[in-house]
Amino acid sequence: MTDGITALKTALPSTAWTQDADIIAPHLVEWRDKYQGETPLMLTPRSTAEVAQAVKICAAHGLKIVPQGGNTGLVGGQTPQGEVLLSLKKMTTIRDVDATNNAMIVEAGATLQSVHDAADKVGRKFPLFLASQGSCTIGGNLSTNAGGNHVLKYGTTKDLVFGVEAVLASGEIYNGLTSLRKDNTGYDLSRLFLGAEGTLGIITAASLKLFPKAGYTQRVITAAENPSKALALLEHCRAGGRLGMFEVMPHIGFNAVVSNMPGQRDPFDTPHPWYVVIDWDVETEAEGAALAETLLGTAFEKDLILNAVIAQNETQAAQILSIRENMSAGQKFLGGSIKFDITVPLNRIPDFFKKADAAMNTQIPGCRPVGFGHFGDGNIHYNIAQPIDMKKQDFLDQWQAVSETVFDLVGEFGGSISAEHGIGIMKKADLARRADPVKLAMLKSIKQALDPHNMMNPRVMI
């Protein structure tokens, strides 16, 4: 390893690497402190050519590489355990914005917020919206196939990409950057890297799909009696194909945010069992107000909602959304939390909640389930907060046992153990046990073909 590290330091510019412990330290821990890492060297290339040069040297010396974007991942895939850490944080250039083709080419280290800003300047939008968009990067978003709040209308990140540029394990550069909407010339190779978590190569740039901006987005927050009523409300709100977001939260999580997070407040005078944040994309403010009043009025008549607040301006709309965006942070005030990012078919969400909550309270009496998330596409963040009278570590020690129960139920309901956060280290063993054997064999064959020496993020996924 020493020869390889020396070779990297000799060949690359001094701006493209560091061994400064203080600079590296923030890159070795994720925000929940669940994973702690170590690395002999952090690479910080400024160009695809520098990435390729670094990978070639690593390949020649048998060094393993862990790529990292904004370090916002939640399954441990970005945390090195002795491998060389390759951070894309200096590759932030917006290479091209083409409003005519509704396309944008950006480097992997560009933050999601910077992409939004660049699209907005030409009257377009990139419809991936995440709470971490100020720090998460496009490379990480693509590598984990991030979802976010607008999947029900625009799809996951895989659906928002024309193609990618990536450095392979050999150091060769694959150039799939295009804005063509039709190209029927063989396998869609770019999609191999989407959701691959850096195991097949390092994404260095991407060609993204842009969309026309809605003239106005009408946001509301409603209160519902239970998940079944929320699911019925979802169907009710789909009118005209204008529904852009449908996010559901239980009172325990909602209350943790409005009671503890700075700047938050409850928009309702009395507590309710469940809450739903809804967006409709329309052309004018008047159209939005009329649509909201009409649909919410009939929702009251059908007994689908208990209360509702219609945002009257951008400030109120932002305040409503911030409650949902702070759901993860707010749960820290509940103590230890065992977290799951899962998907189940839409029509089975209420039954899943009922059965999973009962199973959790049998397994850990007094625990507090917090199931929330993207009801519109079936993606649930199913978290379990520790019992009030249990020590945090005693509770967290049961993570694997709880995982077995939850994943068994996910399988029973025809769902997926990973919706938008990836497999990483956390779910690697679960995937190996639960995935279809043919699928696993195909995954391993692709990995072997593109990375025969297992140098790209070697401990992740498979």
pLDDT, residue 133, reads 86
CA distance 175 to 76: 28
pLDDT (tens digit per residue) in 157-212:
999 999 999 999 999 999 999 999 988 999 999 999 999 999 999 999 999 999 99
Q: Is residue 420 scored above 90 in pLDDT? A: no
Average per-residue pLDDT for the chain: 94
Break the chain into its structural domains and give their ranges: 2-87, 94-212, 216-328, 335-420
**Any idea which fold 2-87 has?**
3.30.43
The CATH code for residues 216-328 is: 3.30.70.2190
Q: Is residue 462 scored above 90 in pLDDT? A: no
Q: Identify the band that residue 139 occupies on the pLDDT scale cut at 50, 70 and 90.
A: very high
Q: Is residue 338 scored above 90 in pLDDT? A: yes
Q: Which of 20, 61, 53, 59 is nearest to 39 (CA)?
A: 20
pLDDT, residue 155, reads 87
Share of the chain above pLDDT 70, in %: 100
Q: Which of 232, 216, 233, 222 is nearest to 280 (CA)?
A: 216
pLDDT, residue 127, reads 93
Q: 216-328 with 335-420: one CATH topology? A: yes
Say if residues 211 and 240 touch (Cβ distance below 8 Å).
Answer: no
pLDDT (tens digit per residue) in 225-261:
999 999 999 999 987 789 999 999 999 999 999 999 9
Q: Is residue 72 scored above 90 in pLDDT? A: no
Q: DSSP of 131-185, one letter per residue?
A: TTTTT-BHHHHHHHT---TTHHHH--GGGGEEEEEEE-TTS-EEE-----S---S
The CATH code for residues 94-212 is: 3.30.465.10
Q: Identify the band that residue 436 occupies on the pLDDT scale cut at 50, 70 and 90.
A: very high
Report the side by side order of strands in the sheet with 161-167.
94-98, 103-107, 202-209, 161-167, 173-175
CATH class of this structure's domain 335-420: alpha beta
pLDDT (tens digit per residue) in 7-66:
999 999 999 999 999 999 999 988 767 788 999 999 999 999 999 999 999 999 999 999
pLDDT, residue 419, reads 86
pLDDT (tens digit per residue) in 266-307:
999 999 999 999 999 999 999 999 999 999 999 999 999 999
What tokens were used for 189? 């190779």
pTM of the model: 0.91
Q: Is residue 422 scored above 80 in pLDDT? A: yes
Q: Which of 190, 352, 330, 202 is nearest to 255 (CA)?
A: 330
